[in-house]
Chain A
Amino acid sequence: MQRRDFFKKLGLVAAASALTPAISFASETKVVSKNTMSYQTAVDAITGGKTVTVSSKIKLKVPEIAENGAVVPVTVNIDSPMTENNYVKAIHILASHNFNARSIDVYLTPANGKAMFSTRIKLGGTQDVTALVELSNGDFISASQNVKVTIGGCG
Chain B
Amino acid sequence: MQKRKSLIKIKPKKFKDGEIVKVSFMVMHPMDTGTQKHKETKELIPAKFINNVKFNYNGKDITNMTVWESLSTNPVFTTYMKVDGKGTLKVTYTDNTGEVNEKSKKIKPKG
A residues with a Cβ closer than 8 A to B are 30-33, 35, 70-72, 95, 98-100, 102-109, 111-123, 153-155
Cα-based distance from A102 to B49 in the complex (angstroms) = 14
Whether the pair A155, B33 counts as a contact (CB closer than 8 A) is yes
Q: A-B contact count, CB below 8 Å?
A: 115
Whether the pair B44, A30 counts as a contact (CB closer than 8 A) is yes
Whether the pair B78, A118 counts as a contact (CB closer than 8 A) is yes
Q: Chain B residues with Cβ under 8 A from A108's Cβ?
A: 63, 79
Q: Chain B residues with Cβ under 8 A from A111's Cβ?
A: 57, 60, 62, 81-82, 84
Whether the pair A119, B33 counts as a contact (CB closer than 8 A) is no
- 10 examples of A-B residue contacts, CB within 8 angstroms: A30-B46, A33-B34, A103-B71, A104-B65, A105-B66, A107-B65, A108-B79, A112-B80, A112-B82, A116-B80
Whether the pair B70, A98 counts as a contact (CB closer than 8 A) is yes
